[in-house]
Amino acid sequence: MKQLLDSVWQRRGVSWIWDDEALSIVTKPVEVYSLRELLRAAKKWPVDLPSNSGNTLVVAGLDACLDLLAPADADGWLANELKSAILSFQDEYSGEAALVFWLPAGHRRFHTDMATDAVRWRCSAPHADQQIEFGRLLWGEAREYPQEIILSEGGKPVGLFHLRIT
């Protein structure tokens, strides 16, 4: 998987981050939307986004939502509800804003198949032996993306970035 050592993820595209430093770069805690607020906002997006000088919307709670759903239900919800909200966001801001999902344990939950770059989400108990086909459901396994976000040369990945989901 390609690595991204660039700040573009802070202003454009869709990212899933799990690093505290990366989070603090783009938002303050009071500016973070809940997943419920994101789904509500998808009906009428705000003119001004709350974070990063109006360039970014940070959302928390996706991990908790996925943990509460059975894997089959999570598949359907990701492919329909969440993807619809992401596409609506991209359309509303013409690709000129960033949607960032905060997943504090994401580094332990995302699994990338090195041979195919397929990205999967490891489910929690009682479904800990299953994985959700995260990449296939949200971005259709586009090979150019996602990219691993790194904050410094040689640094560990702090998230995943996708410029535009179709």
Is residue 156 situated within a structural domain?
Answer: no
pTM of the model: 0.95
* Predicted pLDDT of residue 113: 86
Helical (H) or strand (E) element with 138: helix 134-139
Mean pLDDT of the chain: 94
Token pair in block for residue 90 = 């991209």
Q: How many domains, in total, are found in the chain?
A: 1
User: What is the domain extent for residue 29?
Assistant: 3-148
pLDDT over threshold 90, residue 84: yes
pLDDT at 42: 96
Query: Measured between alpha carbons, how far is residue 52 from residues 9, 22, 24, 117, 129 in Å?
Result: 11, 12, 10, 30, 38
Question: Is 92 within the bounds of a domain?
Answer: yes
Q: Answer whether residue 161 is part of any domain.
A: no
Residue 160 lies in a domain: no
164 domain-assigned:
no
Reference 138, options 116, 118, 111; nearest CA is 118
In the prediction, which pLDDT does 141 show? 61
pLDDT tens profile 105-164: 999 999 988 888 889 999 999 999 999 999 999 988 665 568 999 999 999 999 999 999
Q: What are phi and psi of 5, to 5 degrees?
A: -110, 75
The predicted pLDDT at position 26 comes to: 97
Residue 89 lies in a domain: yes
Q: Let me know if residue 163 belongs to a domain.
A: no
- Residue-wise pLDDT for 58-70, tens only, equals 999 999 999 999 9
75: which 2 tokens?
Answer: 């598949």
Mean pLDDT value of segment 18-41? 97
Q: What residue type is assigned to position 162 of the chain?
A: H
